[in-house]
Amino acid sequence: MRGAHEFADADEGCRWADGFFTGGGNTFVLAKTLHESGYFKAIDSAVREGKPYMGTSAGCNMTGLSICTTNDMPIVYPPTFDAWGWVPFNINPHYLDPVEGSTHMGETRATRIKEFHEFNDQPVYGLREGSWIRVHGTSMELKGAHTARIFTLNHVKDVLEIRMEHF
């Protein structure tokens, strides 16, 4: 494994790589850095041509339609909120269910995603810790010990699997 910074440019790095892993951190910083370094387009092209990709947390946010359902604060401004769009939904990793009886006065993740749907209509998958989505070609599987919570405009439900009719 080698870091992206070890190559002269994104094209060289993507030619060398057999696949890609992008970890966590601030999604806005990641998106800005990927665009500025040329890796956004280079990784997108390589994955669409068949190279594997695995992302966690911020790296997972980059696989959906946009980064607008991240849990991160926008500490920098990327050139776009668009993500790679490899799956036809947004992902909210580290999804936490509202705690019944909680006296917390702030917004829950469910509330934030509902706010997102005031202006957007793409589905959002809330991935609980220990769960992930495996994509192979046009097939998608929800893996791990937990269900996912799928949010669509005016509808929320827990799902055990990913089906195209969710979109």
- By annotation, the residues acting in catalysis are 57, 72, 94
Strands 124-127 and 90-93 turn out to be parallel
Distance from C-alpha of 63 to C-alpha of 132, rounded to nearest angstrom: 12
Provide DSSP, the chain. Answer: ---GGGSSSHHHHHHH-SSEEE--S-HHHHHHHHHHHTHHHHHHHHHHTT--EEE-THHHHTTSSBSTT-SS---S--S-SB---SSSSEEEET-----TT----S--HHHHHHHHTTT--S-EEEEPTTEEEEEETTEEEEEESS-EEEEETTEEEEESS--GGG-
